[in-house]
């Protein structure tokens, strides 16, 4: 559920007409609903209240500091994959003891930053990384808390670019090698074995892959306990999907009920890493029609493209397109909604039934809160767009629109 609804024929963000936001802040524009973010976060707190847990928001899904700050005030931790994300999480007020660090390519500088900050846990992706963290911790006089990111060989049945739980992908340590590597880690003097991490992918729309993955991980936990290695944190990862079109993903409460029996009797604190399921449907991309063109099919040419939202191009992802004025729903055309970028792959919707819009009409790309701005770029030398957060009748500019001057700000000639 979200707070983007039609009222008197016009699409609103909570209590503010989207046309008003477009007129005030310009387009393209990312718009987020505070009430939706808060409600989605609380569903996780409620769903997993039966067991000790930390909800670590996946910063990669939306790294805006104001959104991170909002979640921090609600008690969120952070799932990070870079030194930059660690910096943003700390600046937003997320306690370091609620931050877990995943990612296959942690640099020495990033490891040092995380050790100095006192994060909860590194999720180790390879044996060489484990040795590197041990060496750096030794030089710093620190002890690094670690868990292995275990690849449970589970097919998440999602897009191959966002599936991570099979051995053919770059992520994690094969589960058949994990026990041996934990034994090796136990011998290292500068690491402390703290947990196990498993993340099988993103936009998962069934509970079965989660159940299969957790069952495999629990067996490993039991084997570790038998040889004297105690696991304090069981990091279940994230990946719960949202409704973009006709998907019916499980709610956090449904997922928790499925996992409850498997977790019974496990003396661990669980870590959850949701991103998309909190922020995805809490944000939209607001755009404007520049031109229409009829060739072998109709093209609606807009001011927003793959530089602002790359998901359709990269993943062939579906996003619902709605006109800001509801009267536009009565007439439709078949064609493409495309952007201004000089690429044939620059589209938001391809060969779809679309609202029959004309030059100057505003429209929204729904479910754009996750992996929208965070994956945007300056391709074609286009300044990145503004972001606003709506709270009832109040709106806050949480990222200014870039200017042409920003394109050369860090350049030296």
Which positions are catalytic? 342
Q: Contact at 8 Å (CB) between 276 and 252? A: no
Pairing of strands 321-323, 362-365: antiparallel
Would you say 61 and 370 are in contact if contact means Cβ atoms under 8 Å apart? yes
Provide the 10 A C-beta neighbour count for residue 183. 13
What DSSP designation does 317 have?
-
Task: Find the distance separating the first CA and the last CA of the chain, reported in whole Å.
Answer: 50
Please state whether the peptide bond connecting residue 154 to the residue before it is cis, i.e. omega within 30 degrees of 0. Answer: no
Whether the CB-CB separation of 285 and 308 falls below 8 Å is answered with yes
SS3 call for 34: helix
What is the chain's percent helix, strand, coil content, to nearest 5? 35, 25, 40
Distance of alpha carbon 405 from alpha carbon 274, whole angstroms:
36
Distance in angstroms (rounded) separating the CA atoms of residues 411 and 149? 38
Give the bridge partners for 77, in sequence order: 56
> What are the distances in angstroms from CA 392 to CA 30, 169, 275, 342, 395?
17, 43, 23, 38, 8
User: Which H or E run includes 79?
Assistant: strand 77-80
Asked if residues 111 and 136 have their Cβ atoms less than 8 Å apart, the reply is yes
Beta bridge partners of 79: 58, 100
Answer whether 393's CB lies under 8 Å from 16's CB.
yes
Neighbours of 404 (CB within 10 A): 9
List the 16-17 sheet strands across, edge first: 4-7, 10-13, 16-17
E strand segments, 241-361: 269-272, 283-294, 298-302, 321-323, 332-338, 347-355
Half-sphere exposure of 407 (CA within 13 A, CB side): 11
């Amino acid at each position: 559920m979200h707070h983007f609804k039609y009222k008197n024929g016009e699409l609103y963000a909570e209590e503010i007409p989207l046309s008003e936001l477009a007129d005030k802040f310009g387009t393209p524009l990312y718009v987020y609903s505070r009430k939706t973010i808060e409600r989605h976060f609380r569903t996780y707190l409620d769903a997993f209240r039966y067991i000790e847990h930390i909800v670590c928001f996946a910063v990669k899904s939306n790294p805006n500091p104001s959104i991170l700050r909002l979640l921090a005030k609600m008690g969120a931790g952070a799932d990070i994959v870079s030194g930059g994300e660690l910096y943003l999480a700390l600046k937003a007020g997320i306690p370091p003891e609620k931050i877990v660090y995943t990612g296959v390519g942690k640099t020495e500088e990033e490891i040092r930053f995380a050790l100095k900050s006192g994060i909860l846990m590194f999720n180790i992706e390879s044996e060489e990384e484990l040795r590197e963290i041990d060496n750096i911790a030794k030089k710093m006089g620190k002890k690094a808390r670690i868990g292995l990111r275990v690849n449970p060989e589970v097919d998440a049945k999602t897009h191959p670019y966002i599936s991570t739980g099979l051995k053919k992908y770059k992520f994690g340590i094969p589960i058949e090698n994990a026990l041996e590597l934990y034994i090796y880690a136990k011998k290292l003097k500068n690491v402390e074995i703290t947990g196990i991490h498993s993340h099988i992918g993103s936009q998962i729309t069934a509970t079965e892959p989660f159940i299969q993955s957790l069952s495999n991980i629990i067996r490993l936990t039991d084997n570790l306990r038998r040889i004297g290695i105690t696991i304090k944190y069981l990091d279940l990862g994230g990946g719960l999907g949202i409704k973009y079109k006709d998907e019916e993903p499980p709610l956090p409460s449904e997922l928790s009920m499925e996992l409850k029996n498997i977790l019974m009797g496990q003396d661990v604190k669980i870590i959850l890493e949701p991103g998309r399921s909190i922020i995805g449907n809490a944000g939209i991309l607001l755009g404007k029609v520049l031109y229409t063109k009829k060739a072998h099919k109709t093209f609606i040419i807009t001011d927003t493209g793959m530089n602002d939202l790359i998901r359709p191009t990269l993943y062939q992802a579906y996003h619902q397109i709605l006109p800001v004025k509801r009267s536009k729903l009565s007439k439709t055309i078949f064609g493409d909604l495309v952007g201004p970028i000089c690429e044939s792959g620059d589209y938001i919707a391809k060969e779809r039934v679309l609202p029959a819009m004309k030059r100057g009409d505003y429209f929204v790309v729904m479910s754009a809160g996750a992996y929208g701005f965070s994956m945007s770029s300056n391709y074609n030398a286009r300044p990145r767009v503004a972001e606003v957060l709506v709270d009832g009748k109040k709106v806050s500019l949480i990222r200014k629109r870039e200017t042409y001057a920003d394109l050369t700000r860090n350049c030296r000639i």
